[in-house]
Structure 1
Amino acid sequence: MELRHLRYFVAVAEELHYGRAARRLYVAQPGLSQQIMAFEKELGTALFTRNRRGVALTDAGAALLPAARDILARAEAAVQMTRRYGAGEAGQLTISLTRSAPRGIVTELLDTFRAAHPAIEVRVTSGFTAHDEQRLRERSIDAALVRMLDDPRGDLADRTVGEEAIVAAVPSADPLARKRRVRRADVTDRPLVWWPREHGPRMWDRMLDEVFGEGVRPPVARWEPEEEHMLHAVAQGHGITFITEGRAAALHVPGIAVRRFTDPAPTVPITLAWSRDNPNPALHRFLEHTADDDT
């Protein structure tokens, strides 16, 4: 059974006139009649009765009509769905967020994309930058919102989508907590609570460069695996630390005072990264969306 035969059958069944059905289908009437007869032969039963007054459905034809309409509707829906997936108007997109991703920038980006492309299922996960770079190359994720790529080889592309301020986290009883803003000179020679460089080498370097000056690497008094542990160590009096402003707002640790720096404030980027040869059309829609947001 061919879809073409079903289309011809439905047109004749709805028009009950070969001439009108042929004009509707943009085919010649003799050819349409031949196709209907071939279809009846394939089914082994007549679908229409023909007389001087016109055309009428047989019982078999009347039984076939709703099923034929349903099959054609489903076929058209399948075609449209395939086209939408191919054009990136539907599909799936998996995005990983760095754990320190600022809610404002990232939330707005994802929310506006979801609103513009409701047929694309956006799956969100999280991870460290180095892990996300591996997952981009393995295609287990389509894109990652990271701070900075650690291994920016030619197979990965990236685009800065925002900047976020670095803030100082100090014990509540520390004299720096009484200041509205701190200077870079205020944090020099203070015990530092910090995180392992292997979690994000370029971000690690960028934050220290922004606060202390390029290439300056102060001694670390205490190492912690991530921001929440760092803040608890600061609250216990082991030193001070630096985190992004958005992350500071998300973490509420008693005994901590968060202070902005005086201008020009140190900042770090939020970067969208993806594999250059990822063919997912939904990814390319997302890239177009972020490019539009930049303009």
Structure 2
Amino acid sequence: MELRHLRYFVAVAEELHYGRAAQRLHVAQPGLSQQIKAFERELGVALFARNRRGVALTDAGTALLPAARDVLARADAAVELARGFAAGEAGRLAISLTRSAPRSVVTDLVDTFRAADPAVDVWVTSGFTARDEQRLRERSIDAAFLRMLDDPRDDLACRTVGEEPVVAAVPSGDPLARKRRLRRRDVAGRPLVWWPREHGPRMWDRMLDEVFGEGVRPEVAHSEPEEEHMLFAVAQGRGISFVTEGKAATLHVPGVAIRRFAEPVPTVPITLAWSRDNPNPALRRFLAHVAARTAPDRRP
């Protein structure tokens, strides 16, 4: 049985007229009549009763009609599904977010893509830069919002989608907490609560360069793997720390005061990274969406 036979049968069954059915199908009427006869021979039953007044469905034809419509609808849906996957309008897209990603930028890009392409299953996870670069190369994720590539080989591409201010986290009883804005000299020489450099070496260096000046490295008095734990250590008086403004807005730790910097304000980028040879059509569609909603690329 061929799908075209079902299409011919449904057209004639709905029109009950070979001429109108042929016009609807854009085929010649004699050819359509021959195809229906061939279909009936294949099934071994008559589907239409022919008389001088026209065409009528037989009992077998009446029984076949709803099933034929269902098969054709499923076939059309399968074709559209395949075309949708090829165009990136359907399928699955795995995205990782750095834990410090600003929700206003990243959430907008992900949410608006979901709204524009609801047939794409967008799966979101989180991680730190070094691990996400590995996952991009392993293809366990398709894209990653991170700060800066630590291993920027040619196999990975990136696009800067925004810049975010860095703020200071200080013990609420510290004299720095009484200042409205901090300057670089205010934090110089203070013990630092910081995160392991191996989680993102380039970002580790960039953030300290922005705050203290290029190449200046303060004493790291205490290390914690995540920003929330860093701020708890600040509250305990182990030192001061620095986080992005967006991350600070999500963390409310008693005993910690968040203070902004005076101009020039230290900033860090938020970057979208992906594997250049990833063939996932949904990724290409997402990249086009991001490009349309962000400023021209400025690589960190």
TM-score w.r.t. length of structure 2 = 0.96
Structure 1's unaligned 5+ residue stretches are none
Amino acid at match of 2:168: A
**How far apart are the structure 1 equivalents of 2:12 and 2:111?**
48
**How far apart are the structure 2 equivalents of 1:109 and 1:218?**
36
Amino acid at match of 1:191: P
Amino acid at match of 2:240: I
Are 2:192 and 1:202 equivalent residues in the alignment?
no
Question: 1:117-266 to 2 correspondence within 5 Å?
Answer: 117-266=117-266
Instruction: Tell me the residue number matched to 2:298.
Output: none
Question: 1:26-175 to 2 correspondence within 5 Å?
Answer: 26-175=26-175
Amino acid at match of 1:117: D
Structure 2's unaligned 5+ residue stretches are 296-300
After superposition, the C-alpha distances for 1:203-244 in whole angstroms (9 at most, x for unaligned) are 000001101111111221112222111111111111111111
TM-score w.r.t. length of structure 1 = 0.98
**How far apart are the structure 2 equivalents of 1:60 and 1:66?**
11
After superposition, the C-alpha distances for 1:56-94 in whole angstroms (9 at most, x for unaligned) are 111101100111111111111111121112111122111
**How far apart are the structure 2 equivalents of 1:17 and 1:294?**
56
**How far apart are the structure 2 equivalents of 1:134 and 1:254?**
36
Amino acid at match of 2:41: K
Question: 1:271-282 to 2 correspondence within 5 Å?
Answer: 271-282=271-282
Contact persistence 2:190–2:219 (CA under 8 A)? no
Are 2:297 and 1:286 equivalent residues in the alignment?
no
Instruction: Tell me the residue number matched to 1:10.
Output: 10
**How far apart are the structure 2 equivalents of 1:178 and 1:149?**
36
Q: CA RMSD in A?
A: 1.0
Out of 269-278 and 20-29, give the one that drifted further: 20-29
**How far apart are the structure 1 equivalents of 2:192 and 2:49?**
92
Amino acid at match of 2:99: R
After superposition, the C-alpha distances for 1:167-224 in whole angstroms (9 at most, x for unaligned) are 1111011000000010000000111111110000010000011011111112211122
Out of 197-206 and 209-218, give the one that drifted further: 209-218
Q: Compute the displacement of 1:32 (Å).
A: 1.0
After superposition, the C-alpha distances for 1:109-164 in whole angstroms (9 at most, x for unaligned) are 11211122122121110011111111111111110000111111101000000111
How many residues in Structure 1 have an aligned counterpart in Structure 2?
295
